[in-house]
Structure 1
Amino acid sequence: MGPERERVPEWGHGRERAASPRERAAAVRDRSAPRARLDQPLDQPRVRRPRILPEYDPEEFGRLSERIARFLGTGRFIVWMTVFIITWLTWNISAPAALRFDPYPFIFLTLMLSLQASYAAPLILLAQNRQDDRDRVNLEQDRAQNERSIADTEYLTREIAALRMGLGEVATRDWIRSELEDLVRELEERRAVFPPGASARSDEGDR
C-alpha cells in the first residue's frame, strides 16, 4: 500500500475526501513557513564569518594617512631625514669595521629608503583622494548655495519690479499737489467769470 493520503472535510457532506496535490503542497508550505522565516537574515543576527585580513576603520586610517602626508610635505621631515642619512653614512664610514652594520655601498640604507618611498606614495595618494572628495563636496555645496542665491536674487528682482509697477498707480505728493493747484486755478477762473456780488444783485432784482 502507498503512503496514507491526507483527508480533508468535503463541503456540504459529512464524509471526508482525499486531499489534492495542490492542497498537500499548501499544507507543507504552511508547516514549513515558521522555519523558513527563521532562516531569513532579518530574523536572526548575521553570523560573522572569520576574516583573514585584519579589520580597520577606513576613516581613522584616512586621517592617519593625511597626518603622515602632511608631515612628509614639511621642511621638518626633510631636515630630520637629512640628519638621519648623514648620521647613517658617517657611522658606517668612520666607525670601526666591527661596528659597521651597513658598509659601502649602503645596501640596507637603500632598501630602507625604497621601503619608505613605497609606503609614502600610497599614503600621499590616499590623502589626495580624501582631499579631492572634500573639495568635490565643498564644490557641490557652493554650487547649491549659488543656485539658492541666484533664486533669491531673481525673486527679489521680481518683487522690486512689482513694487515699481504698484507705485506707478499710487498717488504721489507731487501728483496730489498738481491736482490741487489745478482745482484752485479752476475755482479762481469760475470766480472771475461769476463774481459773488453779481449773483446777490440778481437775486434782489428777482424779488
Structure 2
Amino acid sequence: MSDTDPFNTLNETASTSAPAIKVDHLRFHRRHAQLASPFGNGWFARKAEDFARFFGTPVFLGAQTLIVIAWVGVNSIGLVHFDIYPFILLNLAFSLQSAYAAPLILLAQTRQAERDKAHSDADAEHREALAIANTQRQEQAAQTSAQIMELLTQNTELTALTKNLTERIEVLAAELHKKLLQDAA
C-alpha cells in the first residue's frame, strides 16, 4: 500500500497499564481498497475522475455558459464566421462533450455504487464483530460476577464460622477463668 492510500491509516491507542496497541480501525474495509478510486489508481484514473467530478460543478456550468454566449455572440455579430447561424460546430462540440461525459459519469456512478456496497458490507462485518466481542465480554462479566458471588458466599461463611469460634473461645475462656478461680479459692 502506498502512503497516499486512504485505507492505510493505523491508529494507536495507549493505556497507562499496558503498552501501546496498534488498532487497525479500517481492517474490515482493507480488502476493498481497490475500490478507493472509481477509475483505478493510475494517472489516467485520477484525471478521469477529476474530469467526471468537474462536470457537476458551478464553475463548469458557468464556464460553459460563457463559452456558448461568446461563441454565439462572436458569430452572430459578425466579428468572425467560423460557425454561422445554425451553429452546427457548436452542436457538434456539445455532442462530442456528451459522448465522453456520459460514460465517464456513468462509470463514476457505477464504481461509487460498488464502493458504497463494499463499505456497507465491511460495516456490517464490523458491527457483527463488535456484537460477538460484546457477547464475549458479557459472558466473561457473568462468569466474573458468579466467581465474585461465590467468593462473597465463602467470605460470609468464613465470617460466620469465625464469629462462632470467637463466641466459643469466649465461653471456654470464661469457663476456664471460673474454674481457675474456684481452684484458687
Name the TM-score class by shorter chain. Answer: 0.5 to 0.7
Which protein shows a greater Rg? 1
1:33-78 deviation line (CA, Å, top 9, x unaligned): xxxxxxxxxxxxxxxxxxxxxxxxx734443331111111111101
Contact persistence 1:102–1:108 (CA under 8 A): yes
Residue of 104, 107, 110 corresponding to 1:129:
110
Map of 1:46 onto structure 2 = none
Q: Does 1:75 align with 2:58?
A: yes
- Select between 72-81 and 100-109 the one with higher mean Cα deviation: 100-109
Q: Is the 8 A contact 1:69 1:120 kept in 2?
A: yes
How far apart, CA to CA, are the structure 2 residues paired with 1:198 and 1:161? 53
**Larger RCO: Structure 1 or Structure 2 (Cα < 8 Å, ≥ 6 residues apart)?**
2
Alignment match, 2:30: none
Matches within 5 A, 1:1-207: 59=40, 60=42, 61-96=44-79, 99-171=80-152, 175=156, 180-188=162-170, 190=171, 195-200=175-180, 203=183
Q: Which residue of 2 aligns with 1:21?
A: none
Structure 1 residues 145 and 197, CA gap change in structure 2 (3 angstroms) = closer
Q: CA deviation at 1:167?
A: 0.8
Is the 1:65–1:123 Cα contact (8 Å) retained in structure 2? yes
Paired position in structure 2 for 1:37: none
Aligned length: 144
Q: Distance in 2 between matches of 1:108 and 1:197?
A: 127
Change in 2 beyond 3 A, CA 1:64/1:79: same
Provide structure 2 residue ranges, at least 5 long, that are not aligned to the other structure: 1-38
For 1:18, the equivalent position in structure 2 comes to none
Q: What is the TM-score when the length of structure 2 is the normalising length? A: 0.65
TM-score when normalising by structure 1: 0.59
How many Å separate the matches in 1 of 2:45 and 2:114? 12
